[in-house]
Chain A
């Protein structure tokens, strides 16, 4: 148990669906992250939030829309995805965004786009 909980753990959706991934952290951290891990590829950073403000968008397509209503919750809204978006989506949190801060990861949501 890392203190970072992601739901759902598995998700199957069609290309026309709209779904959301949820991440919640119980560590009192101020920074939260979304990463994508495709098969046989390294983890890729998608978004960074610090104190609810987005500080980084790593050239992610607009069909991925993040939302951070407070420092404990992070969402990733999905719409009109493509099959190549099938991947493991990981959420992480840390006390701050500086490199002194260790990141704690959730177990991820395994997404399949049909």
Chain B
């Protein structure tokens, strides 16, 4: 079973920031939060991951609460091409098997 809870769907206006929440209240100290997304008819794509500090790359920012029980993926200026299903995944960093366990994710619809 996935260890995360995400809203099934969200809408965002083009050009605005998209803030996608994820609840992972049972996360343990050695587990990281990963985000992938899947655009329709394509394979999943890695976005970002983090442990406890906020992270930023060219695609997105990841904000993790101080207690690490939840996080938010931020797409600062959403475009129509960001319409996709976004998956929040918790992984035991340093484990020998990095098998991804996907939940149902959040379907983000970016509208003009």
Q: Which of B17-25, B67-75, B76-84, B98-106 lies at the interface?
A: B98-106
How would you classify the secondary structure of chain B's contact residues: helix, strand, loop or mixed?
loop
Is the pair A98, B98 in contact by a Cβ cutoff of 8 Å? yes
Q: In which size bucket is the chain A interface? A: 20 to 34
User: In the assembly, what is the distance between CA of A102 and CA of B59, in Å?
Assistant: 15
A42 within 8 A of B: yes
A-B contacts at CB below 8 angstroms, number: 65
Q: Which residue of B93, B95, B102 is within 8 Å of A42 (Cβ)? A: B102
Most-contacted residue by chain A among B41, B49, B99, B103 (CB, 10 A): B99
**Chain A, residue nearest B44 (CB):** A105
CB within 8 Å of B: which of A82-102? 90-92, 94, 96-102
> Would A101 and B98 be within 8 Å (CB), given that A42-B2, A92-B43, A107-B43 are in contact?
yes
**Chain B, residue nearest A40 (CB):** B104
User: In the assembly, what is the distance between CA of A3 and CA of B31, in Å?
Assistant: 28
Q: Which residue of B42, B93, B94, B102 is within 8 Å of A43 (Cβ)? A: B102
| Residues of A with C-beta under 8 A to B44 | 43, 90, 92, 103, 105
> Would A105 and B92 be within 8 Å (CB), given that A42-B102, A42-B103 are in contact?
no
| Residues of B with C-beta under 8 A to A98 | 94-98
Output the least CB separation between B64 and chain A (Å).
17
Q: In which size bucket is the chain B interface? A: 20 to 34
Is the pair A99, B43 in contact by a Cβ cutoff of 8 Å? no
Is the pair B43, A2 in contact by a Cβ cutoff of 8 Å? yes
Is the pair A99, B45 in contact by a Cβ cutoff of 8 Å? no
Q: Which residue of A2, A45, A55 is within 8 Å of B100 (Cβ)? A: A45
**Chain B, residue nearest A58 (CB):** B99
Most-contacted residue by chain B among A2, A42, A92, A106 (CB, 10 A): A42
A74 within 8 A of B: no
| Residues of B with C-beta under 8 A to A99 | 32, 91-95, 97-98
Is the pair A103, B46 in contact by a Cβ cutoff of 8 Å? yes
Show 9 residue pairs from A and B whose CB-CB distance is below 8 angstroms, ordered by the A residue.
A2-B45, A42-B103, A43-B102, A55-B97, A98-B96, A98-B98, A99-B92, A103-B46, A107-B41
